[in-house]
Amino acid sequence: MNAYGEADRVRLDRLPQWKALTEHRARLNGVGLRELFADDPKRAERYSLQVGDLHLDYAKHLVTDETLTLLTELAEAAGVAELRDAMFRGERINNTENRAVLHTALRAPRDAVIEVDGENVVPAVHAVLDRMTDFARRVRSGAWLGHTGRPIRTVVNIGIGGSDLGPAMAYEALRHRTARDLDFRFVSNVDGADLHEAVRDLDPAETLFIVASKTFTTIETITNAKAAREWLLAGLGAGPESVAAHFVAVSTNAEEVARFGIDTANMFEFWDWVGGRYSYDSAIGLSLMTAIGPEDFREMLDGFHLVDEHFRTAEPERNAPLLLGLLGFWYGQFHDAQAHAVLPYSHYLSKFTAYLQQLDMESNGKRVDRAGRPVDWQTGPVVWGTPGTNGQHAYYQLLHQGTKLIPADLLGFAEPVAELGPLRDQHDLLMANLLAQGQALAFGRTAEEVRADGVPEEQVPHRTFPGDRPTTTILAASLTPSVLGQLIALYEHKVFVQGALWGINSFDQWGVELGKVLAKRIEPALTEGAEVPGLDGSTSALVRRYRELRGR
Ligand code: F6P
């Protein structure tokens, strides 16, 4: 067994700390947030943390000092800190793929030393960052010319999963810092509509494609990249010699990049110790760097690094990712919560939760431990959410009065971005909504309070809010590149903590493979009517129906 297969570790639910938590949970039953706040006037002060620019308020959680102590002790007994240190040291903690997990090296300062198999990887990280910087400057300044000698006006990133969600999310988040004379688009879906809509109004002579794929074998990305190349050649009326000025690649796989027809001189490298969903601060962020500029990109990396250092060194009681991870564990295991909502009160963070879905659900959607044994406890939650206040007029009803407990993160910023001009005046209303939601979810409205408002008796149950719906509030002064980096690192490490606690490998994603294999088998049945051996009755009937509908 690999050192991090950890078959010899005592199972989580057999640890004495687990038993202590179970008993504690039973004792706490019925204790609500109104009582917890009434008992401790300093609760808000004590249950908050400052990490870099992030202010975290976790007072509105169904926990006491004892809960937090017991959870921290469980994490210690489960070896979370040991695994964290092994990750930072570059050990191969991704045991099913025998890989190191070193996204933290992507934001390490130039003089740091982080070794994988005895080799310091930091110089290579910075060499790629320097090449990216050069590329971004050339595109932004108009020095990078297309085949016909015209400067680039639109950059189209083609990638999927981690090779799309990160740059697309961060581009949106920092849109107010982007070069407004350039246009950026992100194509991921193998549905031709995605590429069609992205390029239909573009001039190929002024368009540059970044093909972003760690493996460079992902069918969606390669299919879209080939179609984009066809579009370019047809539009330019030129031969393959025109590709070099309009296509660059980001990948770990130089061989496949060359096979595709992109000059490896136009390839930006990263490494197998960077997981796809942990990669947007690698060369996968090339489109983002081009949009926001190298200085902002490096500021973002510094933000990541700040939280990396916090996670690595802060004492457990004040360690934000540890705390958030443990709170999530507490609700999943001891309150039967199946989901976790992330609700940014910032339009710029409109893709933030979609990004976190991959980060969290691809990492911790696992049912066996590192040694391959089924786990007997809850693992990763369903992560979802959209920006407030839109969600308030859609699904918050369920959060307030439904039968499910869904812990939520409320994110907001004190300063609206300068560019909004007079629209900045709307910001206080936005933030009042964030604060109101946290308050309503936590403390609800009792039947007595509803009655006291003169509500007719038959309506009282409908207008009562049970409260005790936990939230974490994360506030920062403004949404800068550094703050974005800090936020993402916070969630990355939260996900790490939970995976380590549950004893699962957060860094593989075998669960996406079966669908890929089956799609490959089914495609010829759709196109040519080929027999698919062993196809079930339902799927073969659907294949037949599909072919009929397509007139085949
Ligand atoms: O969906 C599986 C996955 O492997 C993700 O983990 C990854 O981010 C995505 O596909 C894209 O992979 P690639 O960057 O190799 O194209």
Tens-digit pLDDT profile for residues 428-453: 999 999 999 999 999 999 999 999 99
Q: What is the pLDDT of residue 2?
A: 47
- pLDDT (mean) for 55-69: 98
* Cα of 46 from ligand 1 centre, angstroms: 41
- For the CA of 218, the closest atom of ligand 1 is 16
In this structure, what DSSP letter does residue 421 have?
G
Strand positions, DSSP E, 188-288: 207-212, 247-251, 267-269
Mean per-residue pLDDT of the chain: 97
Q: Are strands 115-116 and 119-120 parallel, antiparallel or unpaired?
A: antiparallel
- pLDDT (mean) for 87-116: 97
User: Residue 196 pLDDT > 70, yes or no?
Assistant: yes
ipTM of the complex: 0.98
Phi-psi region of 117 (alpha: psi -120 to 50; beta: other; left: phi over 0): left
User: Residue 6 pLDDT > 80, yes or no?
Assistant: no
Q: What are phi and psi of 184, to 5 degrees?
A: -125, 130
162 lines ligand 1 (CB under 6 A): yes
Q: Which of 189, 215, 360 to mutate to test the pocket of ligand 1 (most atoms within 8 A of CB)?
A: 215
Which pLDDT band holds residue 7 (cuts at 50, 70, 90)?
A: low
Task: State yes or no: is 393 an active-site residue.
Answer: yes
Instruction: Specify whether the CB–CB gap between 300 and 482 falls below 8 A.
Output: yes
* Cα of 160 from ligand 1 centre, angstroms: 6
35, burial (CB in 10 Å: exposed 0-12, middle 13-18, buried 19+): exposed
Catalytic annotation, pick one of 393, 458, 462, 548? 393
Q: What is the pLDDT of residue 5?
A: 61
Please list, in sequence order, all residues whose beta carbon lies within 8 angstroms of the beta carbon of residue 393, skipping any fewer than 6 positions away: none
**Local structure of 185: helix, strand or coil:** strand
Task: Name which residue sits closest to atom 10 of ligand 1, judged by CA.
Answer: 161
Please tell me the class of the 12-91+315-502 domain: alpha beta
Domains 12-91+315-502 and 106-296 in one fold: yes
- pLDDT (mean) for 267-296: 98
391 lines ligand 1 (CB under 6 A): no
Percent of the chain scoring above 70 in pLDDT: 99
Closest to 221 in 3D by CA, of 166, 164, 158: 158
In the CATH hierarchy, which fold is given to the domain comprising 106-296? Rossmann fold (3.40.50)
User: Residue 335 pLDDT > 60, yes or no?
Assistant: yes
Tell me how many degrees the CA angle 306-430-451 measures, rounded to the nearest 5: 120
Instruction: Specify whether the CB–CB gap between 287 and 157 falls below 8 A.
Output: yes
pLDDT digits (tens, 9 = 90+) for 349-406: 999 999 999 999 999 999 999 999 999 999 999 999 999 899 999 999 999 999 999 9
Domain boundaries, the chain: 12-91+315-502, 106-296, 512-550
Q: What is the pLDDT of residue 244?
A: 95
163 lines ligand 1 (CB under 6 A): yes
Tell me how many degrees the CA angle 355-356-360 measures, rounded to the nearest 5: 135
94 lines ligand 1 (CB under 6 A): no
User: Is the whole-model pTM more than 0.80?
Assistant: yes
In this structure, what DSSP letter does residue 280 have?
T
**Position 81: which residue type?**
A
